[in-house]
Amino acid sequence: MRKTEIVQITAEGRDFGKRFIITEMPAMKAERWALRALLALSHAGVEISDDARASGMAGIAAAGLKALHSLDFDEARPLLDEMWECVRVMPNPQNPEIVRPLMRNEMEGDDIEEIGTIWHLRERIFRLHTDFFLKGK
């Protein structure tokens, strides 16, 4: 069973109190995502050890989410967009069994209304996929 996590936004703002459910990617998809990210980081000149390059999500854990900021936007965007496939919305905390896909429409608005929430959720998605590798360090 894949790991899931409920994230409630506690920062003041338009997203305060919203709940999001993050679900771990299937193993094969996560491995492909990690390898694409590692290759993109290597192309951007980020120093990635051979061990990290060969170890998928563990390598990404070692490089860290901040390393993705070194990428050219055109290379980073598909990786960043794919992260949102892990997120669903719990629109009413009183009915936690009701969840739906995240609405993302850059022109008309979406479920996330604060930039800080975007970064917070990205960090939580990243940690959900890499915490296992970081616990031994």
In tens, the pLDDT along 57-110 reads 666 666 666 677 778 888 888 998 999 999 999 998 889 899 999 987 766 668
Of residues 76 and 117, the one with the higher pLDDT is 117
Quote the CA–CA distance of 134 and 19 in Å, as a whole number: 26
Lowest mean pLDDT, pick from 10-24, 53-67, 123-137: 53-67
Of residues 136 and 114, the one with the higher pLDDT is 114
Which residue type is seen at 85? E
Q: In whole angstroms, how far apart are CA 30 and each of 10, 35, 75, 108, 119?
A: 28, 9, 17, 30, 19
Q: Is the pLDDT of residue 56 over 80?
A: no
Q: Of 38, 7, 41, 32, nearest to 127 (Cα)?
A: 7
Mean pLDDT, the chain, whole residue set: 84
